[in-house]
């Protein structure tokens, strides 16, 4: 994939130079053994325009573990297939607690606060499994189509690693099932969820795949995935809930809808203009890429592109 010459390229080059000069990159996600050995000095960033033109810098074509970034795409798929029925099973409010917390479920009758904490994502995957019969497969097919990368797939070693250390997710799923908010058998659902989170993709892949959110719900082939209102809903939940319990700080610094994953990736959306993905495996204490947040902060500062 070639990098066209455009105004975005000098901005990305400048950001990469700024990031290279920054001390401190955080630490990889140590609680998932398959991710713990990632090099926090790696950095990549891509910007995709509405027509699919992509610009990149650094490790922008290097596949990495997408983890919670996939929650955006499963949410969009469920909304496209089932509409607003989903919101009867999951809320749209920030949680203020860690992404794998059990606390709120206990006093909110098994209804997760939002689709991006683990409990909420399990509900979304459960709905997608019911609607498609293969939630992880539906996600992979969508990502391949939107990114144009037919080789995009799961990292089975990462999925196995998460499954072996997935007791907290199992607890979340069983607890919600006790309230009737999970309908598929929990073991099978967990398998689908861990495969979903193990998708490997590059910054270029994810920037392209998220393009429908900048195009107000329109897919790369011109067909409609979401209504304009539904695309607005997804972007709004990304802005308020997309970076775990640091969403307020992210909105303050970056000013864009975004979704992070503990693999070190973050996607961000400039509605009507472009989508971005940045990757660097070193995380802060809340699970967000240190260099990734800094790079997106720098992008909106240099370009003036923000939702505010």
Check: CB of residue 66 under 8 Å from CB of residue 265. Answer: yes
Q: Active site residue: 11, 71, 72, 270, which one?
A: 71
How many CA atoms, within 13 angstroms, populate the side-chain half-sphere of residue 144? 11
Place of tokens 């074509």: 61
Q: Active site residue: 11, 262, 278, 293, which one?
A: 262
Q: Does 244 qualify as catalytic in the annotation?
A: yes
Could you tell me which of 60, 39, 86 has the C-alpha nearest to residue 183? 86
DSSP state of 287: S
Q: Does 90 qualify as catalytic in the annotation?
A: no
Q: Does 307 qualify as catalytic in the annotation?
A: no
Strand partners, 153: 200
Q: Please count the other Cβ atoms lying within 10 Å of the Cβ belonging to residue 216.
A: 18
Residues in the chain: 308
Q: Does 262 qualify as catalytic in the annotation?
A: yes
Check: CB of residue 3 under 8 Å from CB of residue 49. Answer: no
- DSSP letters, 67-131, are GGGHHHHHHHHHHHHHGGGGGGTS--S---S-TT--HHHHHTTT--S-TTSHHHHHHHHHHHHHH
Could you tell me which of 230, 299, 300, 292 has the C-alpha nearest to residue 261? 292
Check: CB of residue 260 under 8 Å from CB of residue 283. Answer: no
Beta-sheet strands, E only, within the chain: 44-49, 54-58, 64-65, 153-154, 199-201, 258-260, 265-270, 274-279
Q: Does 71 qualify as catalytic in the annotation?
A: yes
Q: Active site residue: 244, 259, 260, 290, which one?
A: 244
Q: Active site residue: 65, 68, 80, 260, which one?
A: 68
Q: Active site residue: 193, 259, 270, 289, which one?
A: 193
Catalytically active residues, by annotation: 68, 71, 193, 244, 262
């Amino acid at each position: 994939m070639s990098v066209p010459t455009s105004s975005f390229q000098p901005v990305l080059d400048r950001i990469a130079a700024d990031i290279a000069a920054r001390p401190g990159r955080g630490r990889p996600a140590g609680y998932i053994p398959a991710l713990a050995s990632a090099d926090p000095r790696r950095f990549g960033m891509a910007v995709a325009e509405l027509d699919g033109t992509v610009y990149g810098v650094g490790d922008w074509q290097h596949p990495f573990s997408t983890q919670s970034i996939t929650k955006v795409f499963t949410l969009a798929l469920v909304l496209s297939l089932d509409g607003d029925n989903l919101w009867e099973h999951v809320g749209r409010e920030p949680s203020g607690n860690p992404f794998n917390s059990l606390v709120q479920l206990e006093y909110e009758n098994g209804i997760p606060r939002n689709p991006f904490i683990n409990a909420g994502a399990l509900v979304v995957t459960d709905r997608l499994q019911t609607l498609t019969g293969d939630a992880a497969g539906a996600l992979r097919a969508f990502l391949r189509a939107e990114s144009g990368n037919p080789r995009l797939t799961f990292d089975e070693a990462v999925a196995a690693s998460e499954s072996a250390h997935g007791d907290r997710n199992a607890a979340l799923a069983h607890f919600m099932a006790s309230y009737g908010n999970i309908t598929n058998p929990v073991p099978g659902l967990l398998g689908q969820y861990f495969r979903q989170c193990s998708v490997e993709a590059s910054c270029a892949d994810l920037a392209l795949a998220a393009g429908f959110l900048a195009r107000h719900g329109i897919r790369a082939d011109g067909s409609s995935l979401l209504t304009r209102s539904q695309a607005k809903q997804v972007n709004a939940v990304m802005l308020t809930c997309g970076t775990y319990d640091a969403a307020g700080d992210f909105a303050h610094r970056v000013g864009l809808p975004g979704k992070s994953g503990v693999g070190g990736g973050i996607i961000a959306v400039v509605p009507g203009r472009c989508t971005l993905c940045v990757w660097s495996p070193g995380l802060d204490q809340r699970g967000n890429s240190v260099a990734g947040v800094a790079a997106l902060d720098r992008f909106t500062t240099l370009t003036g592109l923000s939702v505010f």
